[in-house]
């Protein structure tokens, strides 16, 4: 399946559901309590993260999509922490605040990345369903997808009112279901139960064929647009009326913590569908995102650079020949991962040992090497008639095959100054016997806080000399 990274910035999603605060107390353990056979944790760090529907909205915002969130909290310190975190992430928060009830908090005591204890502070909310539905109705015109994030805590009282309101406006509805009664999600565009939740409704599935048959029956009974069953280490199965089942394998390299994985799936799905992606492609993106999040500790959001890098890895395009737009996105991702960008340029008409040594030395100056190559017209202007010997497409293909080179891009000017102004490398590298101040573009790179380095030449290595030697024979 061909995957691409959507542009999420014009894909607003409205999330409605049970918000909660995931609180973590981190500390070391070095002794057992004298009062009971339990470890004593010396709390050294307190960390708050949005959970439940709030985590769904946070994930959507982290992908770069506009996220709106409707939910219920108390009027307390936990609600303030939630609001501050979500606002800082760019989530548009619309909370109903109840003075008589506390915000739901799940407190986890952690030591050495292991959870020792979880304490839940919660009461089922006695909500005004009409007021919540009215708020959703008010925000729906701004949304391209509606997500019902249901944790069974009481925020969602009248699912059908919300589903029908969205359907009247042609807005797809995605639901992450809970409980023993899926009829409340009747008419949804997609529901995303895990296997345990699915089997609690349809009964145990003996095999793949049984799962598909029971899923088809559920879709027909509840008039669902589609059904996505998440199956842990067995991946995901997407069922759609009139289509063959789509089975996607789990993508996690190492499972560290499954907390919030379901939130990641539905948030990525919603954001992708809001961009206009087809459902199979959106599910494949969600599967990649889930594979990333289970390698993290606790509820965690997946950023656009992380997902884009996973897509590139999937397509085998982490390296190679890129357009300028592709290059700038790749650099953005690399910087998001703390990588240092090195830039060099040249004609590289006939690749020789000097080039290879120089590029290896250049790559050693950082984490990623951008190689900018003069196009054919600029080589001809610089080197004279009869050059280049090899076209720019062939030169770039050969250079992209070198282990030292990450990305190859062409430019049509005689110098790469315009390109340097866009790439803004951390290090500009040139080979030669001239001073740093003579390097073209040095002032541009320094203006952006970068460095300029000159590497030595490899003796007796010259493209011009090779060409003249061939022509003389």
| 3-state secondary structure string across 169-234 | CCCCEEEECCCCCHHHHCCCCEECCEHHHHHHHHCCCCCHHHHHHHHHHHHHHHCCCCEEEECHHH
Q: Report the catalytic residues.
A: 263
What b/e readout covers 258-286, taking b as 16+ CB neighbours within 10 angstroms? ebbbbbbbbbbbbbbbbbebebbbbbbbb
In the block, tokens 């797809």 appear at 172
Nearest CA among 221, 214, 186, 222 for reference residue 198:
214
197 is in an annotated binding site: yes
Q: How far apart are CA 359 and CA 371, in angstroms?
A: 9
Pick the closest to residue 419 from 397, 444, 391 (CA basis).
444
Which two structure tokens, joined as six digits, stand for 117? Answer: 């204890």
Percent of residues in the chain assigned helix, strand, coil, to nearest 5: 40, 25, 35
Tally Cβ neighbours within 10 Å of residue 295.
13
User: Is residue 374 marked as binding?
Assistant: no
Is position 196 annotated in a ligand binding site? yes
Instruction: Enumerate the β-bridge partners of residue 15.
Output: 69, 147
d(C-alpha 473, C-alpha 470), whole Å: 6
Residue 386: HSE in the Cβ half-sphere, 13 Å Cα cutoff: 4
Cα-Cα-Cα-Cα torsion 403, 406, 408, 409, nearest 10 degrees, comes to -170
343 and 367 in contact (C-beta within 8 Å)? no
Closest CA to 15 of 274, 259, 236: 274
Annotation-wise, does 137 bind a ligand?
no
Residues in the annotated binding site: 194-197
Residues in the annotated binding site for ATP: 194-197
């Amino acid at each position: 399946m061909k995957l691409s990274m959507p542009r999420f910035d014009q894909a607003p999603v409205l999330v409605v559901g049970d918000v909660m605060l995931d609180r973590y107390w981190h500390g070391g353990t070095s002794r057992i309590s004298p009062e009971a056979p339990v470890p004593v944790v010396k709390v050294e760090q307190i960390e708050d993260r949005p959970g439940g529907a709030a985590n769904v909205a946070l994930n959507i915002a982290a992908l770069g999509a506009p996220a709106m969130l409707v939910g219920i909290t108390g009027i307390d310190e936990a609600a303030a922490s939630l609001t501050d975190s979500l606002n800082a992430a760019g989530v548009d928060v619309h909370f109903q605040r109840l003075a008589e009830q506390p915000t739901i908090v799940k407190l986890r005591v952690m030591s050495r990345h292991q959870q020792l204890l979880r304490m839940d502070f919660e009461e089922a909310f006695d909500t005004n369903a009409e007021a919540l539905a009215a708020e959703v109705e008010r925000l729906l015109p701004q949304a391209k997808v509606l997500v019902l994030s249901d944790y069974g805590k009481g925020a969602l009282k009248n699912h059908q009112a919300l589903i029908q309101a969205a359907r009247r406006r042609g807005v797809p509805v995605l639901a992450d279901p809970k409980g023993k009664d899926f009829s409340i999600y009747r008419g949804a565009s997609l529901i995303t139960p895990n296997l345990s939740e699915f089997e609690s409704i349809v009964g145990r599935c003996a095999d793949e064929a049984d799962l598909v048959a029971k899923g088809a029956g559920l879709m027909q009974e509840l008039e669902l647009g589609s059904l996505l069953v998440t199956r842990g280490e067995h991946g995901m199965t997407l069922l759609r009326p009139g289509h063959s089942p789509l089975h996607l394998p789990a993508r996690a390299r190492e499972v560290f913590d499954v907390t919030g994985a379901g939130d990641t799936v539905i948030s990525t799905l919603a954001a992708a569908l809001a961009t206009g992606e087809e459902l199979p492609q959106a599910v494949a993106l969600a599967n990649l995102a889930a594979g990333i999040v289970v390698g993290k500790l606790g509820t965690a959001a997946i950023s656009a650079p992380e997902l884009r890098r996973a897509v590139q890895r999937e397509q085998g395009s982490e390296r190679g020949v890129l357009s300028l737009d592709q290059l700038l996105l790749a650099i953005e991702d690399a910087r998001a991962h703390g990588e240092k960008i090195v830039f060099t340029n040249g004609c590289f008409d006939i690749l020789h040992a000097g080039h290879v040594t120089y590029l290896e030395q250049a790559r050693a100056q950082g984490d990623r090497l951008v190689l900018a190559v003069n196009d054919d017209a600029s080589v001809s202007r610089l080197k004279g008639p009869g050059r280049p010997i090899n076209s720019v497409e062939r030169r770039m293909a050969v250079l992209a095959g070198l282990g030292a080179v990450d990305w190859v891009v062409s430019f049509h000017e005689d110098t790469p100054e315009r390109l340097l102004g866009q790439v803004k490398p951390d290090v500009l590298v040139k080979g030669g016997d001239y001073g740093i101040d003579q390097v073209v573009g040095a002032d541009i790179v320094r203006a952006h806080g970068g460095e300029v380095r000159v590497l030595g030449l490899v003796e007796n290595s010259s493209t011009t000399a090779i060409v003249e030697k061939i022509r003389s024979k």
